[in-house]
């Protein structure tokens, strides 16, 4: 598997890496559709932007879940570090991630090489005036009993910058991602079921342009049939092996 994947990427010098929740499970963050996935325990249709805006109890539950979630305390694993190593080698144009955990940045990938198309759990904003209080400020207020913290400037609803279902994707991030697909000469998908759109259109655009797709994933994805090579294994183990082989 590793040899075939390295061969498929051997002539590529502008690899776009596309990651999903599977790259972070070995950092203690559950994925959504894997065997222990969140959507096996919660109904995703509950997590809508409209419900967040209109249902105070849901907002209070969201803040509680957020400050008690593994996102904020997780640390990068060897797969995140392998993505950074590939970028530092000059063979990758960067990473588009669906993840909101901030672990690619924590693994040393600079902002210019990272696009977070579903937002980031470490930042928040006022949905009315756009003010951006720090998450630690909001957390301090939440831990003091303010269960539905409001904007200090205009009294508006505060929300983390995690994209909820029904919420627009960050336009600047999406535009950057499409520019990367135009520049890429291969795409390496790590830890994604490739079943959520428009995000999944991003790696598929590189394939549509005639470039190779390599998938590192435990279990099948929706687009395995389009891959030049598949590595079915835990990303924190197999991705460093692939990158080492590629850069050897």
Least Å from the CB of residue 217 to ligand APR: 5
Tokens of 178: 């499409």
Closest residue to bound ligand APR by CB: 22
Active site residue ranges: 118
Per residue in 31-46, is it b (16+ CB within 10 Å) or e — as a string?
bbbbeebeeeeeeeee
Shortest spacing between CB 148 and ligand APR, in angstroms: 23
Residues making contact with ligand APR (CB under 6 A): 20-22, 25-26, 31-34, 37, 44, 98, 118, 191-193, 196, 217-219, 234-235
Whose Cβ is closer to ligand APR: residue 128's or residue 218's? Answer: 218
- Which residues face 188 on adjacent strands? 17, 214
Would you say 35 or 210 has its CB closer to ligand APR? 35
Report the distance separating Cα 81 and Cα 130, nearest Å: 33
- What is the SS3 assignment for 125? strand
C-alpha 178, offset from chain centre: 16
Pairing state of beta strands 114-116 and 92-97? Answer: parallel
Shortest distance in whole angstroms from residue 137 CB to ligand APR: 26
Return the number of the residue (44 or 155) whose C-beta is nearest ligand APR. 44
């Amino acid at each position: 598997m590793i040899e075939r994947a390295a061969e498929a990427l051997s002539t590529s010098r502008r690899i776009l890496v596309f990651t999903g929740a599977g790259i972070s499970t070995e950092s203690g963050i559950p994925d959504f559709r894997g065997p222990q996935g969140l959507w096996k325990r919660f109904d995703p249709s509950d997590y809508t932007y409209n419900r967040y805006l209109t249902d105070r109890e849901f907002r209070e539950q969201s803040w509680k879940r957020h400050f008690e979630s593994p996102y904020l305390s997780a640390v990068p694993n060897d797969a995140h570090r392998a993505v950074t190593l590939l970028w530092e080698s000059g063979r990758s144009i960067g990473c588009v991630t669906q993840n909101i955990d901030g672990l690619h940045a924590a693994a040393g990938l600079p902002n210019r090489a990272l696009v977070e198309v579903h937002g980031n759990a470490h930042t928040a904003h006022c949905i009315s005036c756009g003010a951006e209080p720090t998450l630690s400020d909001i957390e301090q207020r939440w831990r003091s009993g303010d269960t539905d913290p409001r904007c200090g400037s205009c009294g508006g609803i505060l929300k983390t910058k995690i994209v909820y279902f029904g919420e627009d994707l960050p336009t600047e991030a999406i535009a950057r991602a499409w520019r990367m697909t135009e520049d890429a000469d291969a795409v390496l998908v790590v830890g994604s079921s490739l079943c959520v759109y428009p995000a999944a259109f991003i790696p598929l655009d590189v394939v549509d342009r005639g470039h190779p797709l390599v998938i590192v994933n435990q279990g099948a994805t929706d687009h395995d049939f389009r891959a030049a090579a598949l590595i079915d294994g835990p990303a924190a183990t197999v991705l460093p092996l692939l990158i080492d082989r590629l850069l050897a």
